[in-house]
């Protein structure tokens, strides 16, 4: 028995604690069967699946050329988790974990419980396959998106734990430190990530909870974040939301309907990087604490000058309506809208999928809240160039603290009968 299997609360055996490593491999085997079944009768027609479940329950296909949760219309709720692989995990265990995650994710996005026995139909003498809090709930537009961090391929000390160093994408490097960063290690990095988005918070939490349970003995959560109230629209059918500063956010965000722009700015093209990343993307996650109390005492005219937009309708201060192109020569020089505009950043556009968050209050009684920034881009260097512009000059920096940061390679979608592990291991 490995040291990882032996440890646990109050010396419990792996069987008493839940899913042992042997259990993971068993679930992976069940998962492979589930993939074959799902690829046939269960998940054959993605469009047809959208009508499954209770009336009004949205559902997005799990299988496809790209992972769902990137250009999918942004849902209202988020549960994001970054994981570290156990120190003695092996490549075989990593592969088995990804296979088991595939099987579970394919079922949960269809509104089905994890495993053949689910929450209540398995042997009463064994822990259920599914935790059960999503029983009777529709899919709620659940999407599950996974990514691989730089340390999965090679640790900071240069150790190739899983024989994957040669397959590491050239673009996947840790983000540089930006001016004003106040990063905390407990909110930074990770070997793997899961982004679960849904229109019901319980459905999103259920997804991460079950994938974490499956990972027991092989991977552990490094950090996680709950989000609410999306801060960007990713479809022209969506209204522009507001952030916790009260301003419309993401007016000029890339939209899924902009097919050509999405291809140019989001998806990795053939020849961009390692072949297995073609059709994938790169995810940047930044936890940005908003200094709410200071902002709330700032004059309205100054708030608008800092953002560069009218607070009421989101129109640029240079005039027009919300979607009027701003006149950069007229906007305040240090305004956020001006400095983030593609015209001042070599035409770079990012697909943003961020969420508001609140984690209660800190030790001084101040609201611990802000923006959990998520963006997808063809190359992380595109984010770096925009963020350097903002970090050096943005008037909004007075009211922000960047406390968490991570970057992940998001592989392409899983074909029917395939697995998350296919792209990684070849």
240 within 8 A of 106, measured Cβ to Cβ: no
Q: What is the pLDDT of residue 69?
A: 98
Helix locations, 137-285, DSSP H = 150-153, 201-214, 259-265
Instruction: Say if residue 309 is exposed, middle or buried (CB neighbours under 10 Å; 0-12, 13-18, 19+).
Output: buried
Q: What is the pLDDT of residue 40?
A: 32
Q: How far apart are CA 37 and CA 362, in angstroms?
A: 49
Which run of H or E residues covers position 423? Answer: helix 420-425
Main-chain dihedrals φ then ψ at residue 396, nearest 5 degrees = -70, -20
What SS3 state is found at 308?
coil
Nearest to 114 by CA among 200, 212, 180: 212
Q: What is the pLDDT of residue 384?
A: 98
204-226 tens-digit pLDDT:
999 999 999 999 999 999 999 99
24-56 tens-digit pLDDT:
433 443 343 333 333 333 333 333 334 344 433
Nearest to 274 by CA among 375, 158, 148: 148
Main-chain dihedrals φ then ψ at residue 24, nearest 5 degrees = -60, -45
pLDDT under 70: residue ranges of the chain: 1-57
For residue 322, CA distances in Å to 252, 258, 348 come to 9, 18, 21
68 within 8 A of 140, measured Cβ to Cβ: no
Q: How far apart are CA 30 and CA 105, in angstroms?
A: 13
Q: What is the pLDDT of residue 426?
A: 83
């Amino acid at each position: 028995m490995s040291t990882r299997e032996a440890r646990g609360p109050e010396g419990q055996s792996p069987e008493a604690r839940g899913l042992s490593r042997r259990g993971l491999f068993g679930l992976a085997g069940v998962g492979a069967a589930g993939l074959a079944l799902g690829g046939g009768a269960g998940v054959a027609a993605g469009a047809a699946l959208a009508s499954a479940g209770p009336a009004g329950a949205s559902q997005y296909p799990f299988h496809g050329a790209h992972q769902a949760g990137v250009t999918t219309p942004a849902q209202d709720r988020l549960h994001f988790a970054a994981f570290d692989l156990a120190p003695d995990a092996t490549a075989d265990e990593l592969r088995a974990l990804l296979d088991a995650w595939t099987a579970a994710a394919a079922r949960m996005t269809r509104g089905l419980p994890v495993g053949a026995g689910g929450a209540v139909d398995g042997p009463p003498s064994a822990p259920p396959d599914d935790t059960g809090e999503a029983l009777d709930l529709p899919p709620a537009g659940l999407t599950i998106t996974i990514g691989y961090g730089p340390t999965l391929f090679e640790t900071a000390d240069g150790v190739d734990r899983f024989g994957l160093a040669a397959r590491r994408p050239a673009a996947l490097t840790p983000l540089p430190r930006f001016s004003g960063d106040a990063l905390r290690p407990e909110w930074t990095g990770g070997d793997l990530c899961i982004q679960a988005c849904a229109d019901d918070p319980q459905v999103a939490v259920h997804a991460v909870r079950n994938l974490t349970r499956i990972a027991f003995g092989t991977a552990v959560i490094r950090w996680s974040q709950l989000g609410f109230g999306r801060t960007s629209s990713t479809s022209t059918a969506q209204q522009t939301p507001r952030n916790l500063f009260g301003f419309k956010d993401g007016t000029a965000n890339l939209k899924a309907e902009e097919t050509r722009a999405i291809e140019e700015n989001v998806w990795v093209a053939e020849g961009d990087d390692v072949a297995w990343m073609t059709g994938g993307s790169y995810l940047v996650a930044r936890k940005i604490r908003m200094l709410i109390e200071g902002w709330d005492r700032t004059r309205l005219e100054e708030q608008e000058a800092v953002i560069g937009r009218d607070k009421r309708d989101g129109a640029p201060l240079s005039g027009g309506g919300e979607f009027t192109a701003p006149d950069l020569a007229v906007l305040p020089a240090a305004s956020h809208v001006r400095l983030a505009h593609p015209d001042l950043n070599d035409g770079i556009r990012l697909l943003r999928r961020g969420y508001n968050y609140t984690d209660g209050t800190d030790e001084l009684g101040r609201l611990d809240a802000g923006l959990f920034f998520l963006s997808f881009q063809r190359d992380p260097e595109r984010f770096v160039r925009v963020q350097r512009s903002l970090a050096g000059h943005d008037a909004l920096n007075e009211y922000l603290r960047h406390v968490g940061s991570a970057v992940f390679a998001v592989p392409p979608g899983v074909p029917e009968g395939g697995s998350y592990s296919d792209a990684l291991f070849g």
